[in-house]
Each structure stands twice: as structure tokens, then as C-alpha cells.
Amino acid sequence: MRYTPVAEQIGITEARYKELRNFCRQYDDWDREAKTLLGIRAIKMDGLPHGSGISDPVARAAERRERLLAKMSIVEGCAKASDNGAWYEALIEHVCRDVTWKVIKETKPELLPTSDANTFYKRRREFFDMLNKVTDI
């Protein structure tokens, strides 16, 4: 049986598939940065100029955090949509952290509703197909 790449199976180019995959791989970075943006930042009061114009660093941080959370919710929404969320955690592990199905099965079997690899990869195809439709990266 011939292996068909995921991109070909869902009707997108290999470049687009890699773009979507790399979008997902940033998930943990977004999460980490969003958590750091929750903290209070102090303004240096040393009397030296720090830029021109009026700025609101708190508003900028809040806007940045909202953009990060929006990207995270896109990935989470596509993962939850696959089989009513049954595959959510396994898909997040796989597409965001590059953990293979075999490793998930061996180390975190509780994340898999079934141990059938074909079903898992079908859900992964559905995830990327949906992500392709909802994003315009």
C-alpha cells in the first residue's frame, strides 16, 4: 500500500501543510508568552527618554495577549471539533508538540479513545483540513 502525504489527502499543497503544522508548533510559545503578559510591568522612572509619543504599555501587552489567545483558540477549536473533543488532548500533543502516535500510545494511553492508529490519523487529517479552512496565515 502506497503512503499518501497528509497534504495530498486533504487537497492542499505540501508548503501549505508545513505552514499549518508550523503554526501549531508555536502553541506552547504562545501559551508561555500569554502567561508572562499577565504580570504587572513597572515603568522605569530614571528621567531618561525611552521613546517618543504617548504609549500605553499595559494596553499593548493586553492586545498582544489577546492576539496570542486567539491563535491558541483556533488550534484548540479545531482539535475539539474532531469527534466532539474525544481526541482533543492527543491531537494537541501530536500537532503542537510533535509527539508521535506511538509515543502517545506507550506513554499516555489515557489520551487515546481507541488504540487504532488509522482512526488517530484520520482525526489528524480532519484537524488539518479544518485548520486550513479557518486560517488565512
Domain that holds residue 119: 10-39+54-134
Half-sphere exposure of 53 (CA within 13 A, CB side): 3
The Cα–Cα gap between 55 and 67 comes to 19
- Examine residue 45 and state whether it is found in any structural domain, yes or no: no
Would you state the pLDDT for residue 38? 86
Q: Which cell numbers hold the place of 101?
A: 502516535
pLDDT tens readout for residues 87-131? 999 999 999 999 999 999 999 999 899 889 999 999 999 999 999
Q: With 90 as the cut, is the pLDDT of residue 21 above it?
A: yes
Under the banding of pLDDT at 50, 70 and 90, the label for residue 81 is: very high
- Examine residue 117 and state whether it is found in any structural domain, yes or no: yes
- Examine residue 63 and state whether it is found in any structural domain, yes or no: yes
Number of structural domains found in the chain: 1
pTM of the full structure? 0.84
List, in sequence order, the alpha helices (H) in 26-137.
Answer: 27-36, 57-81, 88-91, 97, 101-107, 117-134
- Examine residue 90 and state whether it is found in any structural domain, yes or no: yes
State the DSSP H helix or E strand holding residue 22, giving kind and residue range, or none if neither. helix 14-25
